[in-house]
Structure 1
Amino acid sequence: MAQNARFALSLRVLTVLAGEPDAMHTSAAIAETLNESAVMVRRTFLLLREAGLIVQRKGPNGGAKLKVAIKQIGLGDVFNATAGEWLAVEDKALAGLMKKVRDDAVAAMNEHSLSGVVKRLKKS
């Protein structure tokens, strides 16, 4: 899955979790809600859990839920969780510049939170 598709799916998954932040949501239920593959939702869970944005629990009452309030989740945080080594270069002469460009882009994205995404989706 391409970086932008992982990012978009991650945002969509987080908005579903934000709808009931204290409830555990299964990958199957989220997949059905989003008309997505449960496998892709589980892969997204993994990225979001590794980034510290969600918690997961296994078993019959398992699933995932938000670990962080939606106002505290910046879009840059979600991007970092999903983007991999975006803008990484092998050339040492350019590596420092590309790291700064990435850091600046993530900082700009973090000026917007998941809370804003949820509000916009409610309006549409």
Structure 2
Amino acid sequence: MAQSGRFQLSVRILAVLASEPDAMHTSSAIAEELKESAVMVRRAFLLLHKAGLIEQKKGPHGGAKLKVPAKQIGLGDVFEASAGDWLSIEDKAVSAWIKKVRGDAVAAMNEHSLAGVVKRLKKK
């Protein structure tokens, strides 16, 4: 899945988790709700867990839930969690510039929180 697809899916997953922040949500239930592949949801879970945005529990009553409140999760945080190596360039001058551009983009994205996304989705 391309970067933009991973980012979009991650935001959608986090929005579902934020809608019931105290409940554990299984990857299969989220996949069904979002009409996505359970495998892709589980892959996104791994990235979001590694970034410290969600906590996971295995077993019959397992699943995932937000580790921090939705208003403390910026969209830039989600982007960073799902990005991987972004435009890896060997030229040091260009690489430094790309790193700065990415940092600026993430900072701008962090001006918007997951809570804002959830609020907009509820208006629909």
TM-score (norm 2): 0.97
Question: What is the DSSP-based 3-state SS (H/G/I as helix, E as strand, rest coil) of the residue aligned with 1:23?
Answer: coil
Mapped partners of 2:78, 2:34: distance in 1 = 18
Q: How far has the Cα of 1:114 moved from its partner? A: 0.3
TM-score, normalization by structure 1: 0.97
Q: Distance in 1 between matches of 2:47 and 2:21?
A: 18
Alignment of 1:108 with 2:108, yes or no, is yes
Query: How many percent of aligned residue pairs carry the same amino acid?
Result: 75
Q: Does 1:60 align with 2:66?
A: no
1:24-81: CA deviations, max 9, x gaps? 1000100111111110100000000000000000011110000010000000000000
Contact 1:88 1:99 in 2 (8 A): no
Once the two structures are superposed, the pairs formed by residues 1-124 of structure 1 within 5 Å of their partners are 1-124=1-124
**RMSD, matched Cα:** 0.7
* Matched-pair contact (CA < 8 Å) for 1:53–1:66: yes
Aligned length: 124
Structure 1: gaps (5+ residues): none
| Unpaired segments ≥5 residues, structure 2 | none
Runs (4+) of structure 1 moved beyond 4 Å? none
